[in-house]
Chains A and B, each alone.
Chain A
Amino acid sequence: MTIPNAFTLAEARDALKEKRLSSRELTEAMIEAMAAARPLNAFVTETPEQALAMADASDARIAKGEGRALEGLPLAVKDLFCTRGVRTTAGSRILGNFVPPYESTVTQNLWDAGAVMLGKTNMDEFAMGSSNETSYFGPVENPWRTEGSNKKLVPGGSSGGSAAAVAADLCLAATGTDTGGSIRQPAAVTGIVGLKPTYGRCSRWGIVAFASSLDQAGPMTKTVRDAAIMLGAMASVDPMDSTSVDMPVPDYEAGLDAGVKGMRIGIPKEYRIDGAPPEIDALWAKGAEWLKAQGAEIVEVSLPHTKYALPAYYIVAPAEASSNLARYDGVRYGHRAAGAKDITDLYEKSRGEGFGKEVRRRILIGTYVLSAGYYDAYYTRAQKLRTLIARDFTQAFEKCDALLTPATPGPAFAIGEKTADPVSMYLNDVFTVTVNLAGLPGISVPAGLTKEGLPLGLQVIGKAFDEAGVLRVGRALEVAAGFSAKPGKWWGA
């Protein structure tokens, strides 16, 4: 028997159902693993007492035969989701002591399905970053290391803590949020599955906002099946979120193994970028072959406005962020600077001290692009591009059922390697931002290792609300790739 930490969500669910294991045993194993893995810095806040209480309650339900979809399954929650009575920081000093008196819809859905909360995971400050290095609580280290090296690698971002926690078996699964790739990119570079659902599929209520028109919560799991199970519990229409969509939540797990026979898979030619490592293109080609071998038809498609996606994203997202983050002013909650002489001084000091460099940079960019005289040149044009990018996908989906692309332009890089050059950092999202701009679902599935032994992922992009199709293709890739590598457990005793 595998040690319980290494269980997938589905395996643990079945073990609990068949009473081969109790939620308490499972949860205790996780708490122990979390403690041992503190060098990874994956968690900002651990909630072991709460976890054990929830586990005991689940065991009681299971004993009565009243187990729900995620009964007794210990999960980690990105520290962007507000959790009632549990500090929620968004990775920022400005919210360093904030304890919400309310629970986000997505996490409430998980607890209502019986899940157990282990703690809150580290993340880039306000989800702004691709390496988890912008967190006020310090960087997260990727559990993966290059073979024979002790060099510390980033876990990707912004959901870096969640990715590291899942990859290191500190939890069965975790929630993430994805604004430009913040679920899929860290999933790819830590060898796990990350799914960004269609915009509106999961409620944004109670999630600290970064860029409201792009933010979307999703699961980060060990397998595609686990992603299907967890999305089923996370998704709902929510009257508290006007942008959530009233669509029935299907049983995502049910159609998972239906296969890709007869499906048309599009290969967007614009995703072949100069300077990408040959391993990326090779893996992409291999992915197409895998799907073809399972009966899919591979078609070349064009997404001509792809090259404008990153610039458009880095206008729209900071613009919205500059406004969303205005509420952190030191007046009602969060960090308030001492010794301010008037209200302007209070704002400047509190925000200057409370926000890190990258957040300040994006607030400035966003403020600039919305300013009188610049609005049309930047914001309006970016919105037009967004429309064109969405139209590219609509046209591509006339020729195919789903798209296959690389998830990232490369594997995990070293901590500190890209912090000096924001643009090189932003380029990490080159394959993922388009999906956010178009509001589509996308999944990153681990598909292979670099020759240095670091994981790489492939991305499947689907039509709006076709998470089932995306999961089905993802599952086909997973089966063909047979990815079973795990990071060496260099941390802990």
Chain B
Amino acid sequence: MSAAAKRSKLIKGETGEWEIVIGLEVHAQVLSEAKLFSGAPTAFGAPPNSQVSFVDAAMPGMLPVINRYCVEQAVRTGLGLKAAINRRSVFDRKNYFYPDLPSGYQISQYKQPIVGEGEVLIDLPAGESAVVGIERLHLEQDAGKSLHDQHADNSYVDLNRAGVALMEIVSRPDMRSADEAVAYLKKLRAIVRYLGTCDGNMEEGSMRADVNVSVRKPGDPLGTRCEIKNVNSMRFIAQAIEFEARRQVDILESGGSIRQETRLYDPKAGETRSMRSKEEAHDYRYFPDPDLLPLELDEDWIRNIEASLPELPDEKKSRFIKDYGLDAYDAGVLVTERELADYYEELARGIDAKLAANWLNNEILGRLNKDGRSIGECPVSAAANNAIIAMIADQTISGKIAKDVLDIVWSEGGDPKAVVDARGLRQVTDTGAIEAAVEKVIAANPDKVAAAQQKPKLAGWFVGQVMKETGGKANPQAVNAILKARLGLPDEG
């Protein structure tokens, strides 16, 4: 049994258990100022048809010229996927008619892609991981957008996206559940974001996926697959897979067979629907684009790109586990975003690394999530948080006061140390002052003293009262020790 099969989250049918087999084709928009074969800009949200060159509009006699930076981005991504970079690749024309495809063909790479086989390590629950194979990555142009809702009788076309560079990243059918597919996409997104080759923004369509789903009895050969086109959120991908797998199982168990076809996911209805069958599939008549020479890459150029790669999530995670003593889960969470990992490292400098990780997870990310903000938009710097945690460690403030300090700095800004001093939040360790407070509370509650002496657990009430008396600033350990001594309770440590 393969490692993948062991992980399988089998689904139950009438005739036993079924295994879901999933492969993804992800379209990731290359982060680049200009399009793949023209100098037109690529800004998102620009007015319709304002980012279109004569090449993009397929005017007569116009010719594509490859954008070197887009090639570099594809190579960088390939290296980040630990994939083979093909020194020679070929651009082909994929021919079909559609109004948002001005030239009547998409320039893509068919038989000879720029990047060959690689792999992505996905993070599974309980800190485990699994390998998803990458079959290939190729460069291609995006199409424009047809707008059918602008006019009663006419459709409009916006060519701003036409010609924008995409990387199509094709996985092996190595995923066995919707969760794994989502984990794969998350990791892929983290990698391209670390590399700066794609912003990974699914809402704006800069990352979208075609999902191939089939089912089989464990141990059987692969079943017939259906391709669900252009799903644009993690949640929908998971829903589409769940629905599609169940649909296929139901068909097979009722004696039917799966028709290889392209389907669409309708998020409103929560179902996939047939778009076209294999027989209706386009004949794209691929052939090498005679306007473009084969792409030949220099080995030194590739090595230079490789040397400039940043530390990627997997390596960073290993280092966090090793250097900071974090567990796999915490380390995995911290490396999902490069900014978060960087923030953590600055936050943890010179202080307890686990304390820093907990502080970041519970306090900072908690507050950011509530506000719907990212780590890049955090109003309190890592250095300021580092200072707060350092004050807990050297007992300048208590953990509770630290949270108050964070709240103040979060909403009002300022230096945490100055806030502590200015507001007199410094922890009281002066035993005289604590003793005075203890005396005051005991004097005011003689009945409770007797009760506590009978039932030592009630001493906790006195702690609270003393803390209240000292405005929360008293050192809790000191209060405990003094109270116990004063009430004559045994010091249980």
A binding-site residues for B, Cβ under 8 Å: 81-82, 88, 90, 95, 98, 100-102, 104, 204-209, 211-213, 239-243, 319-320, 322-323, 325-327, 329, 331-333, 343, 347, 367, 370-372, 375, 379
Chain A residues with Cβ below 8 Å from B10 are none
B293 touches A95 (CB 8 A): no
Contact A241 B287, beta carbon cutoff 8 Å? no
CA A322 – CA B284 in complex, angstroms? 12
Residue in contact with A379 in the complex, picked from B65, B97, B287, CB distance below 8 Å: B287
| A-B contacts at CB below 8 angstroms, number | 94
Q: Are A209 and B293 in contact (CB under 8 A)?
A: no
B102 touches A243 (CB 8 A): no
> Does B204 have its Cβ within 8 Å of any Cβ on chain A?
no
B291 within 8 A of A: yes
A466→B182 CA distance, assembly (Å): 59
Please name the residue on chain B nearest to A383 by beta carbon.
Answer: B288
Q: Are A208 and B103 in contact (CB under 8 A)?
A: no
* Least CB separation from B100: chain A residue: A331
Residue A323 contacts which of B64, B99, B104, B283 (CB distance < 8 angstroms)? B104
Are B95 and A327 in contact, CB atoms less than 8 angstroms apart? no
CB distance A367 to B285 under 8 Å? yes
Q: Please, could you name 20 A-B residue pairs with CB atoms under 8 Å apart, sorted by A?
A: A208-B60, A241-B63, A243-B291, A319-B287, A322-B285, A323-B104, A323-B105, A323-B285, A326-B104, A327-B102, A327-B104, A329-B104, A331-B99, A331-B102, A332-B58, A343-B99, A367-B285, A370-B287, A375-B285, A379-B287
Known: A332-B102, A370-B287, A372-B283. A326 touches B60 (CB 8 A): no
Inside 8 A of A347's CB, which chain B residues have their CB? 97
CB within 8 Å for A207 and B61 given contacts A329-B97, A370-B285, A371-B285: yes
**Chain A residue at minimum C-beta to C-beta distance from B292:** A242
Kindly name the residue among A90, A101, A320, A325 whose own CB sees the greatest number of chain B CB atoms within 10 A.
Answer: A320
Is the CB–CB distance between A326 and B95 below 8 Å? yes
Interface of A is mostly: loop
Q: A323-B287, A327-B103, A375-B287 are contacts. A333–B63 as well, Cβ < 8 Å?
A: no
Contacts of B283 in A (CB 8 A): 371-372
Q: Which of chain B's residues have a CB closer than 8 A to the CB of A243?
A: 290-293
- A62 and B57 alpha carbons, distance in the complex (Å): 40
CA distance A441 to B286 in the complex (A): 30
B24 to chain A, nearest CB (A): 25
A95 in complex: contacting residue of B60, B64, B97, CB < 8 Å: B60
In the assembled complex, B66 has its CB within 8 A of some CB on chain A:
yes
List residues of chain B with CB within 8 A of the CB of A211.
Answer: 290
Please give the distance in Å from A208's CB to the nearest CB on chain B. Answer: 4
- The verdict on A212 contacting B60 (CB below 8 Å), with A326-B95, A331-B157 known, is no
Write the chain B residue with the least CB distance to A241. Answer: B63
Closest A residue to B96 by beta carbon equals A326
Additional A-B contacts beyond A240-B63, A326-B97, A375-B287 (18; CB < 8 A): A100-B61, A101-B54, A102-B54, A102-B59, A207-B61, A208-B61, A239-B65, A241-B63, A241-B65, A242-B66, A242-B292, A326-B103, A329-B97, A332-B57, A333-B59, A347-B97, A371-B283, A371-B285
Cα distance A367–B287 when bound, in Å? 11
Is B35's beta carbon under 8 Å from chain A? no
Chain B residues with Cβ under 8 A from A213's Cβ?
290
B105 close to A90 (CB less than 8 A): no
